Copies of this chain bind each other. A is one copy, B any other.
């Protein structure tokens, strides 16, 4: 049961979180949306899950492996990027990609800045002026998650940290990254749940909403 009234209330259509849903359930949701001529974003749909969908369903969807997302109805046209999506390491890319796809679905381009973890500070500084020009910055980082603190000390826009569950030992699962972001000394850094690229994008859309 999709909540079509929600779009009116908060400006964000409900996405379909596919983890834990059967292929049959997902196909039915897609069919129902198509019948209504509605666009639809599906998240947490991994390659195996996409492969298990009926061929007819797959044919209607624009699927992306890295972000594990599918889009029904095509991306919206996007103007110049007002949102940056940054990653500390390569393992953070899937989470960042989920954010980028969610933004694209809502008609927003994103400036992607990858592999700028603080252990290699110069790579970050080389890109910081581009980032400073954005209204919102999403930063996906796991492990020590120092990147969002550094970025929030350098840019004036909204900075949204997304802890990622990458790493091992004390980093495994993303709690260390989450706590580091919440405890950040940089004022005004906000945080979403671990691996929640979709949520970070929704927050960015809220921030751009009135502008």
Q: Which residues of A contact B (CB under 8 A)?
A: 1, 3, 5-6, 9-12, 14-15, 19-21, 25, 88-91, 114-115, 117-123, 135, 142-146, 149-150, 152-160, 163, 165-196, 198-199, 201-203, 205-207, 209-211
A198: nearest chain-B partner, CB-CB: B187
Q: Quick one: given A149-B146, A190-B190, A211-B210, are A183 and B167 in contact (CB under 8 Å)?
A: yes
Which of A89, A91, A117 has the largest count of B CB atoms less than 10 A from its CB? A117
Asked if A193 meets B182 with Cβ closer than 8 Å, knowing A1-B115, A119-B152, A154-B9, the reply is yes
Write out the residue numbers on chain B whose beta carbons fall within 8 Å of the beta carbon of A153. 6, 9-10, 118-121
What are the residues of chain B within 8 A of A154 when measuring CB–CB?
9-10, 121
Pairs across A and B, CB under 8 Å, 22 listed: A9-B154, A10-B154, A25-B90, A118-B118, A119-B184, A119-B185, A135-B210, A142-B183, A143-B183, A143-B185, A150-B150, A157-B209, A158-B209, A159-B206, A171-B179, A171-B193, A182-B194, A183-B193, A187-B199, A188-B205, A190-B190, A190-B192
